[in-house]
Structure formats: C-alpha cells, structure tokens
Amino acid sequence: MNIDPGSHVPIYLQIADAVRAAVATGVYQPGEPLPSLRAMAVEVHVNPNTVQRAYDELQQEGLVGSQRGRGVFVADRGTSVARLAAEVGVRRGLEEAVRAAQRAGMEPSQVRDLFGAVLDRMIQEGRQSS
Amino acid sequence: MSIPTPNGPAVETFWLTKRFGRTLAVDNLSLKIPRGSTFGLLGPNGAGKSTTIKMLMGMLSITGGQARVLGVDVATDPVQVKRRVGYVPEAHHIYRWMRVGEAIGFCKSCFPTWNDSRCRELLDLFGLDVQKKVKHLSKGMQTKLSLLLAVSHEPELLLLDEPLSGLDPVAREEFLDGVLQTVCDRGQTVLISSHMLDDVRRLADTVGILYEGKLLLQGHLESLLGTTKRITATLRDGVRPANVPDGTIFQRTVGREWTITVRDFSPEKLQQVRALDGVENAVAADLGLEDLFKDFIRGCRTEKVLESGSV
Amino acid sequence: MNTGWLLWKEYRQNRFIIYAALAILLGPYLIGFGALYGWRLIYCPMNVTPRNWAEVWWRVLAFANFCSMFLSLLSIALIGGNAISGERVDRSSEFLFSMPLRRSRILVGKLLLAALVIAVIWLLNDFVCWLSPKMPGLKVPGLRSLPLAFIATSSLVIFCSAWFFSSLVTSPAFDVCGGLMTPMLVGIGIRFTTWLLTPHGAVPFAGNYDADFSRWYLRVCCVIAPVCFCIGTWRYLRRVEP
C-alpha cells in the first residue's frame, strides 16, 4: 500500500482508495478483518486518526462494517460496493485530466475525442498482451 | 502552585513572547493544541520554532506571556512539566562517554514512570546496542536513542524539535515508526516541528505556520489543504489586476501567466477572478502542503498579504 | 535514587580535573622522595652521609608538603571554575536539564564532588603536618608554623570566586583564572590601602606590614568568599536555561 504525502489528494482518501482497490481485487475477502488502526498506521506511516477517517469513509459507503471490540470487517457485499466505489477514484483521475486540458485551453469536444482515442488504444493493447 | 487540569488542552500559550536582546524571537504567540492530536509546527529557519519548544519544555526563560503545558504553568513548575513531557531536541547532547545502557539507566533513575518493556521494545525496533558508547553512534542512531529516552517514561506529550533533519530515509522511517507506535498505543499528543513537509503531512492532523515569531495560521491539515487553492489564469496584456479575491495569500506573474493562491476557496471566488478585466482561462487547482507552505511564507515576505490573509 | 548517578556523572564530567588534582597533590611528594633516593644512590657509595638523616627527611617532607599545599590552590580553582560552566560549554547540560531534576539536586551533586576532592587533598596534607612533629630526632618546629591559615582562606576564596564566575560566564578558562585572580587582587588591594593609610612620607611597601596584612587578608577573604558563593548559587538556582 503506497501513500504519496506530496500529492494534493487528502491522505485519508488515498488510504480509502487503496483499501477499495484491495477489496475489489480480492486481497481482503468479505467477512475478513481489515488491519487494525495501529497496524495500518504503522504500515503506511500515517497518523492513526487519518486511518480512522479513511475507515469511517469506507464504513459510510457500506464497504466495511465494524463489530464492537473486534475491529473493522469487509462487508458481505463489500466486493461489489468496492467496484462501484472505485468509480469515485476514477472520476477524480478524470477530473484531474480534464483540468489539465482546461489549463491547456482545449475545447470540450477535443477532450472527448482524445478520451475516446486513449480508451480504444488501451483496450487494444490489453487484448494484445493477454 | 498551579492545579493541573486533566481534560484541558495539552499545550496552551497566551501571548508568549521571547526576546534575545533586541531581536524578537517569538512574538505574542497564542497556541492551543488539544489532547490526542498531532500538531505540526512549520516555519522557515529562524522562525522561532525551537525557541517556542524550548520555552514549552521549561528550558528557556519566558520574556512575556504564559505557557501552560498539560495544565501546568511552565514558569512555576518546570520539573513537573519535564516529568510528563518527552523531548527530542534538534541537537543531541546525551553524555557522549556513556554507553547506551548507561544512558537508559540514568534517565530511568530520573523518571518515576519509566516503562522497561516499552524501552526494550524500542531497543529492538531501532536495533540499538546497549554496550555501544553514545559517541560512537551515528547521527540517526543518536536521534533514535533520543526518541527512546523521550518516550520510555510514557509521557503525555511528545515535543519533537526538527527530529528528522539529517537522517537518511531508512532512519527517518524507523523514527516515524517509533513515534507512530507510541501515538497509536497511548493516544499521546505530539508537537513536531520539521522541514520535512511530507513527513509532517503523514503524521500531523493539525498544523501551524510560524513566521518571524508570529503564528500565521493554525488549522486542521486536510481541511486547510481542501480549502486553499491555486488559481492560474492568463493575463491578456500581462498587467496584473488591481483587486484580488478575499483571502489571497500570494500572487505572482510570470509573463502573461498569473497565479494566485487563495484561502477559503469557493466557486464564487473563481467567478470573481474570471470576471476581472483582461483575465482569461482562469482554472483552480488543489495544491500540496509544500506549495501551500511556500506560498504562505513567500506571501509574507513580499508583504503582499492582505489583511484577511493573516490570522 | 539518582544521587549516585548524579555523582557518577559529575565524576565522569570532571575526571581529568580530578586526575590533575591528584597529580598536583602527590607530585611534590613523589619528586621529593625521588630526589632523596637519588641522592642516596649517588653519594652513599662515596661514603658521604648527612649528619642528621632525620632532619633531611623532614626537610624534604616539609618542602613537598608546602608545595603540594600551595599548588592545591590551582586544583581548587580548576574544580570550582569547571563546576557549572564545564557542562555548559560542552552543552551536556542541555541533556541534563531535559530530565525532571530539581536544580538544587544537581547543585548538591556538584558540591559533594568538590567537597570530596578538596577533603582528600586537605586530609593528606594535614596528615603530613600532623605526623611531622612526631618524627624522632626532630629539632625544628612543627609544620603548623607554615602559613596554613593563609592557604586555607585562599583556597576558600578561590573556590568560591571560581564558583561565582562559573555560574556567570560560560568559559571554564575564564572562570578558573577569575578564581585565581581574586585572592591576588585582594592582596594587592590591601597592600595599597595600608600604604594609603600610613602617615605621609612613608616609602611604599618598604615597611613591615606583614602582621597587619595577613590579619586584613583573612578578614576580607572571609567576607568575599561567602558572598561570592551565595550569589553564584542563587544565580544558578534562579536560572531557567540549562
């Protein structure tokens, strides 16, 4: 799990993104516990309060549930929630790209065309490599 | 005698002032750090960070104002403050002729609340050899020993004064691990002053920026980052508009590019900028802690900071 | 508790000074007896023997004792002058003062060590003084006739003024010199004052004021020493900085 403190994305969101990705790809299966606050804080070298905030965020989404005294668990429908919620992270990335386009003074239609071209190329590359 | 208040803030200063001869090192500083939080004190060299921390530790006389640490007035009872606070100074002056084990024994004899198991745990984590003499330790090892001595008596507040400067990345990470473990286990309050903004961002939940002895701002780190934005725009004639939005910290023009950093950002402020004469392509973007810090300091230096920009 | 640690720390901080003090204490005796032994090695084979061996012994001992006593003033200045500024100048006091120790405790550690070293110096020298009249076949008066009171008051004023400077100026060299200078300045001051108060026409320093001088010297020293010590201690206890 990698955190970039130099990024302008809040650290708790970075942690939430990373956990979401881990659940979506099956690193943590439904019903399994997430690392404790302490373990996670020491693992990614951040303040435990920040980890708490990330877990709160995930709990609100319904990705994880907490059991009193036993920590935080991946919810039964965690995997599907994670896939849905991954959209959030993707959207943030796209926003960043659109902002860059705005700075460069590109027209909306130009951006749309570019996005389509990039998507097509990457899908093709994915097919070739697999 | 001052009566300690168990639930008050960990650190509270009222118009704290320190003067060295004619120079004003700390100027009417009023700071409040709630218990359980991790506070990052940022500021350029000579801003008064070390001076402030030393006054909080009762190791520097106070010219004016008051400092209360864990509810105790530092000026009246420095010994009690030192008993309950862990301090990692910028430069380490642990007796060079002592062995690591002896330094531990010496500190243990001074603190009634010394925790042997915590001490051993950190010795293992840091890989410190008790037989080694302090003068033969590397800078990183000395810093780690200093942290070990500062946290093994289970302090309620940890004061870290530029602990990370001069450490290699591995030592820095181990040091942060040590700090985090104590923060996690005991819910300690931490005050860390540092130039390593990335590390501050990992550790701190609240930050304050000190400049020339004055506190420029104090706030929750993520909300500060969330509400401070940098607006980039093109100036048609390269002439900077006379009025800028409220809360502008810093602005500069390079050729036709105009950059302004704005606090308490709202879409209306972006609209305001767009509505200005001769301004095109105004876009707002987030900025990292490092840029935010630099813009605050630069803004102060050029004295272009507006009244609303300073706290 | 930690008095033992503090005392040990004081010893380690000042150990070279303590070694110097021991060298100054024992050096004159060792040199004296070495010379005596050498004399015997050289001259006894030639069948040259002194008329009174006991007196030779006694003279050597007395001279060594006098030198050791006189030089101990230097050790005392070193101990007093380094007591406070010594750890300030190597900045280890900053570590010490991050510990929750009362300043008075630290002060007691310093005084205890100084008292210990000075006690050793004085006990040995005094023992020699005490022993000397008991030596068989001795025809000279006891060592007490040496200016013992003079050396004692000088030691006192040197220690106290060095202590005073040490709490004031963070430079052990300055503090040691300050300690050594104080009795000299007192002496010079008294000499001039005595001359000033004698009737007109007296040639300066020609007369014999010795009795007066030593009486006044003792008095002035006994006033200056406690004043210096108290101001130094007060300054140390009142300070916030290490």
Q: Which two tokens stand for residue A70?
A: 């036993």
- Structure confidence by residue, pLDDT tens digits, C62-93: 888 888 988 999 999 999 999 999 999 999 99
Residue of B nearest to A13 (CA): B222
Give CA–CA dist B164/B185, Å, rounded: 22
Give every CB contact of residue B228 below 8 A, 6+ residues apart in sequence: B249, B261, B262, B263, B264, B265, B287, B292
Q: Provide the sign of the torsion angle of the four alpha carbons C93, C94, C99, C102, taken in this order.
A: positive
Taking CA–CA distances from A37, the nearest residue in chain B reads B184
Nearest alpha-carbon partner for B310 in B243, B232, B212? B212
Does A71 lie at the interface with B, CB-CB under 8 angstroms?
Answer: no
Confidence of residue C192 (pLDDT cuts 50, 70, 90): confident
Under a CB-based contact definition with an 8 Å cutoff, are residues B76 and B2 in contact?
yes
pLDDT for B2 equals 44
Instruction: Band the pLDDT of B302: cuts 50, 70, 90.
Output: confident
A91: Cα within 13 Å, side-chain hemisphere: 6
Closest CA in chain A for residue B178: A42
For residues B109 and C5, the answer to whether their CB atoms sit within 8 Å is: yes
**pLDDT at residue B275, rounded to an integer:** 86
Residue B236 pLDDT = 86
* Cβ–Cβ below 8 Å for B184 and A46: no
Q: Report the residue from B184, B201, B286 with minimal CB separation from A41.
A: B184
What mean pLDDT comes out for the span B252-277? 88
**pLDDT recorded at residue C1:** 62
pLDDT at C214: 81
Cβ-nearest to B205 among A3, A9, A50: A50
Contact residues on chain A for B294, CB-CB shorter than 8 A: none
More confident residue, B84 or C125: B84
Rounded CA separation A8/A11 (Å) = 8
Least confident residue range of B128-142, B197-211, C154-168? B197-211
User: Half-sphere exposure of B58 toward its Cβ, with a 13 Å CA cutoff?
Assistant: 27
Contact list, A54 vs chain B (CB under 8 Å)? none
Q: In the block, which residue shows the tokens 């004792």?
A: C65
C231 pLDDT above the threshold of 50: yes
pLDDT at residue C204 in the model: 63
pLDDT at A39: 87
Q: Which among B80, B109, B151, B152 is the top mutation candidate for probing chain C, defined by the most C β-carbons within 10 Å of its own β-carbon? A: B109
pLDDT band at B308 (very low <50, low <70, confident <90, very high): very low
DSSP symbol at A62: T
Question: Per the structure block, which two tokens stand in for A4?
Answer: 């970039």
CA angle C87, C89, C94 (to 5 degrees): 60
Residues of chain A contacting B37 with CB distance shorter than 8 Å: 49
Residue B133 CA, distance from chain mean position: 31
Q: Inspect the structure and tell me whether chains A and C have 3 or more CB pairs less than 8 Å apart.
A: no
- The Cα-based distances of C195 to C190, C209, C211 in angstroms read 9, 9, 14
Chain A residues within an 8 Å CB radius of B288: 6-8
Residue indicated by tokens 């943030």? A92
Q: Quote the pLDDT of residue B188.
A: 86
Residue B111 clears pLDDT 90, i.e. is over it: yes
Query: For residue A63, which phi and psi values (nearest 5 degrees)?
Result: -75, -40
Under the banding of pLDDT at 50, 70 and 90, the label for residue B183 is confident
Residues contacting residue C4 through CB under 8 Å, at least 6 positions apart:
B109
With CA atoms as reference, the chain A residue closest to B39 would be A47
Closest-CA distance, A104 to chain B, in angstroms, reads: 9
Which chain B residues are Cβ-neighbours of C5 within 8 angstroms?
105-106, 109-110
Q: Is B79 on the interface with C (CB under 8 A)?
A: yes
Query: Is C154 a residue whose pLDDT tops 60?
Result: yes
B300: pLDDT confidence band, cut at 50, 70 and 90?
confident
The pLDDT assigned to B6 comes to 62
Measure in Å the smallest separation between the Cα of B106 and chain C Cα atoms.
6
Mean pLDDT of chain B: 88
Quote the minimal CA–CA distance from C84 to chain B in Å: 16
Examine the pLDDT at C207 and tell me if it is beyond 60.
no
Q: Which residues of chain A have pLDDT under 70?
A: 68, 129-130
Q: Do B222 and A49 touch (CB under 8 A)?
A: no
- In single-letter form, the type of residue at position B102 comes to E
CB atoms within 10 A of CB B303: 6
Looking at residue C202, what is its pLDDT?
65
What average pLDDT does this structure show over C18-47? Answer: 91
Q: Tell me the pLDDT tens digit for each residue of B15-40.
A: 999 999 999 999 999 999 999 889 99
**Which pLDDT band holds residue C233 (cuts at 50, 70, 90)?**
very high
State how far the Cα of B115 lies from the Cα of B107, in Å rounded to an integer.
11
Contact check, Cβ <8 Å, B38/A47: yes
Query: Looking at per-residue confidence, does A34 or C145 come out higher?
Result: A34
Crossing angle (nearest 10°) for helices B139-151 and B116-126 = 160
Q: Angle at Cα C141 formed by Cα C135 and Cα C142, nearest 5°?
A: 60
pLDDT at C98: 94
Give the lowest-confidence range in B146-150, B226-230, C155-159: B226-230
- Touching check for B311 and chain A: CB below 8 Å? no
- Report percent pLDDT > 90 for chain B: 51
Cβ–Cβ below 8 Å for A7 and B288? yes
Chains that touch B (3 or more CB pairs under 8 A): A, C
Q: Provide mean pLDDT across the span B294-299.
A: 89
Q: Are A47 and B204 in contact (CB < 8 Å)?
A: yes
Contacts of C among chains (3+ CB pairs under 8 A): B
State the complex-level ipTM: 0.88
